């Protein structure tokens, strides 16, 4: 959530940056400033009334002590009116605060200055590319055909049990999936991230804390009986570990990693681009999260990008990095880099990771602060990234490593799988 003082002091900049998202925010920003002025005026009036009421209460006590009961009782009538006025003002103040918060919850994060203008993913900027695209054998197959051929993933069985988008991994397919999870976690912990096992359901406050609510409410599975939500990513429970937390500056930075299944209701379209593992309602992902000092959060973002690059280099998958344009930027993000792996059999790029800096946007919702060197409470910066999302990494491995007599396993994964070919 954007901070009101920041909006007030940087009105034109906020409007200009939100325009990168193709949002005309001028009216909303003016409404925020007006509501905040009204709220502050009401607060000042309320403070004055309370001060006057306290002063009169002391005077009444002194009059009773002096034996001037008639004068004291006359003043008590005035305090009764002041209490009624105070109650009315408190209600008006609450109404203004709720209206202000409701408006702020609808405003996305302000994009970083480096975010390019654009409307869709076609306007994203490629900033890096590495790896040679392999030449496949004649008759190379997409991963959903390979999965069927080698009996390692059963999409029809998952559809029978649950529905489309819930695959069943079998035999060496399940073992390869488990190997990827272990490998990703080992890489992350070696890089200094502390591993956590996190809940797979979260409450409403956690959804609001990281910005999934109210923005992505329709994309989350909702357990109505308990008003809980299945997590769309480990970012939600992981970041909420620090909700309502006051850290010391010396605690920073904090880095955590965790594996979770992820659940997304996203309405899928039809066609090859969403077949097989390309888009699922349940999938596995290993996440990295950081809580950083504002002065070094963009250095941390670069470090996270470099970390994901090392994993893809070891897997020897061709990949590229995109800087997302304003129109494709997530609601809570100030700057996001997407990693895409090239699927040779499908002849297209598949997104496998997003690494983002949210600056203070999530921290403001979470009330995640630290005590700075001056002894003042300051909002921290939060960052997160996929390291990595499994389905499309697995798709890339199956397709890019296919040979005439099977699927070769990347060398770095063989100690985890126990086999080098499917």
Tell me the CATH number at 343.
Answer: 3.30.930.10
Task: For residue 283, list its beta bridge partners.
Answer: 262
Q: Which residues are within 8 A (CB) of 185 and not within 5 positions of it... i.e. 6 or more apart?
A: 195, 257, 259, 286
- Please state whether beta strands 194-195 and 254-263 pair in parallel, antiparallel, or not at all (unpaired): parallel
Q: Are residues 99 and 130 in the same domain?
A: no
What's the confidence (pLDDT) of residue 267?
55
pLDDT tens across 7-30, in order? 999 999 999 999 999 999 999 999
Averaged pLDDT, 337-348: 95
Bond before 409 cis per omega within 30 degrees: no
pLDDT tens across 244-293, in order? 999 999 999 999 999 999 999 975 544 556 789 999 999 999 999 999 99
Q: Are residues 202 and 263 in the same domain?
A: yes
In 66-211, alpha helices (H): 69-106, 143-149, 155-161, 171-190, 204-210
In 268-331, alpha helices (H): 297-315
Lowest average pLDDT, out of 72-81, 93-102, 133-142, goes to 72-81
Question: Exposed, middle or buried by CB within 10 Å (0-12, 13-18, 19+), for 309?
Answer: middle
199 pLDDT band, cuts 50/70/90, is very high
Please indicate, yes or no, if residue 111 is contained in any of the structural domains.
no
Instruction: Please identify, among 106, 141, 173, the residue that sits at the C-terminal boundary of a domain.
Output: 106
Please indicate, yes or no, if residue 116 is contained in any of the structural domains.
no
Name the percent of the chain lying above pLDDT 70: 98
Lowest average pLDDT, out of 156-170, 214-228, 260-274, 354-368, goes to 260-274
Please indicate, yes or no, if residue 112 is contained in any of the structural domains.
no
Q: Is 60 exceeded by the pLDDT of residue 55?
A: yes
Q: Are residues 72 and 176 in the same domain?
A: no
What's the confidence (pLDDT) of residue 381?
98
Helix 171-190 with 297-315: angle, nearest 10 deg:
140
Q: Are residues 19 and 50 in the same domain?
A: yes
Task: Find the domain containing 127 and state its range.
Answer: 121-417
CATH number at residue 37: 1.10.287.40
Helix (H, G, I), strand (E, B) or coil at 403: strand
Write the CA distances from 122 to 19, 99, 111, 326, integer angstroms: 18, 36, 18, 11
Q: What's the mean per-residue pLDDT of the chain?
A: 94
Q: Are residues 96 and 240 in the same domain?
A: no
Write the CA distances from 389 to 38, 149, 259, 261, integer angstroms: 46, 24, 10, 10
Q: Are residues 344 and 391 in the same domain?
A: yes
What's the confidence (pLDDT) of residue 66?
85
pLDDT tens across 104-119, in order? 999 999 999 999 999 9
Q: Are residues 159 and 286 in the same domain?
A: yes
Q: What are phi and psi of 169, to 5 degrees?
A: -95, 135
Please indicate, yes or no, if residue 115 is contained in any of the structural domains.
no
Q: Are residues 219 and 82 in the same domain?
A: no
Q: Are residues 388 and 344 in the same domain?
A: yes
Please, are residues 275 and 142 in contact by the beta-carbon 8 Å criterion? yes
Q: Are residues 79 and 170 in the same domain?
A: no
Averaged pLDDT, 75-98: 90
Q: DSSP label at 68?
A: -
Instruction: Please identify, among 80, 106, 132, the residue that sits at the C-terminal boundary of a domain.
Output: 106
What's the confidence (pLDDT) of residue 273?
63
Q: Are residues 48 and 156 in the same domain?
A: no
Q: Are residues 68 and 187 in the same domain?
A: no
pTM for this entry:
0.92
53 pLDDT band, cuts 50/70/90, is confident
What's the confidence (pLDDT) of residue 185?
98
Residue with tokens 């193709």: 22
Number of domains in the chain: 2
Please indicate, yes or no, if residue 152 is contained in any of the structural domains.
yes
Q: Which residues are within 8 A (CB) of 148 and not within 5 positions of it... i.e. 6 or more apart?
A: none
What's the confidence (pLDDT) of residue 270?
47
Nearest 5°: the CA angle 78, 81, 83 is: 110
User: Bigger pLDDT: 145 or 63?
Assistant: 145
Instruction: Please identify, among 79, 106, 133, the residue that sits at the C-terminal boundary of a domain.
Output: 106
């Amino acid at each position: 959530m954007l901070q009101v003082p920041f909006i007030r002091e940087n009105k034109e900049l906020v409007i200009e940056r939100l325009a990168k998202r193709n949002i005309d925010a001028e009216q909303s920003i003016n409404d925020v400033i007006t509501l905040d002025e009204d709220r502050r005026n009401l607060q000042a009036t309320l403070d004055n009334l309370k001060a006057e009421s306290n002063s009169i209460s002391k005077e009444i006590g002194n009059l009773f002590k002096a034996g001037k009961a008639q004068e004291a009782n006359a003043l008590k009538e005035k305090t009764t009116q002041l209490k009624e006025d105070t109650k009315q003002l408190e209600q008006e103040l609450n109404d203004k605060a709720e209206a202000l918060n409701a408006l702020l919850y609808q405003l996305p994060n302000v994009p970083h200055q480096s975010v390019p203008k654009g409307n869709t993913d076609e306007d994203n900027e490629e900033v890096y590319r590495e790896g040679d695209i392999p030449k496949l054998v004649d008759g190379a197959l997409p991963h959903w055909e390979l999965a069927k051929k080698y009996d390692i993933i059963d999409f029809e069985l998952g559809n029978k049990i649950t529905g489309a988008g819930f695959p069943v991994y079998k035999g060496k397919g399940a073992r390869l999936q488990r190997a990827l999870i272990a490998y990703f976690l080992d890489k992350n912990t070696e890089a200094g991230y502390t591993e956590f096992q996190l809940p797979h359901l979260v409450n409403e406050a956690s959804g609001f804390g990281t910005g999934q609510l109210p923005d992505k409410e329709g994309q989350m599975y909702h357990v109505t009986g308990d008003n809980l939500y299945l997590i769309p990513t480990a970012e939600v429970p992981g970041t909420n570990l620090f909700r309502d937390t006051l850290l010391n500056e010396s605690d920073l930075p904090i880095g955590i990693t965790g594996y979770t299944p992820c659940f997304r209701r996203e309405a899928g379209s039809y066609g090859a681009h969403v077949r097989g593992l390309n888009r699922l309602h349940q999938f596995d992902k290993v996440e990295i999260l950081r809580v950083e000092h504002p002065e070094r959060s963009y250095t941390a973002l670069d470090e996270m990008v470099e970390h994901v690059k090392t994993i893809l280099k070891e897997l020897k998958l061709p990949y590229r990095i995109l800087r997302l344009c304003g129109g494709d930027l997530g609601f809570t993000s100030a700057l996001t880099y997407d990693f895409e792996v090239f699927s040779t059999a499908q002849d297209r790029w598949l997104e496998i990771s997003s690494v983002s800096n949210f600056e203070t946007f999530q921290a403001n919702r979470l009330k995640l602060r630290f005590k700075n060197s001056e002894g003042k409470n300051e909002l921290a910066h939060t960052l997160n990234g996929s390291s990595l999302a499994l389905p499309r990494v697995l798709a890339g491995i199956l397709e890019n490593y296919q040979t005439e007599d099977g699927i070769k396993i990347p060398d770095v994964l063989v100690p985890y799988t126990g086999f080098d070919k499917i």
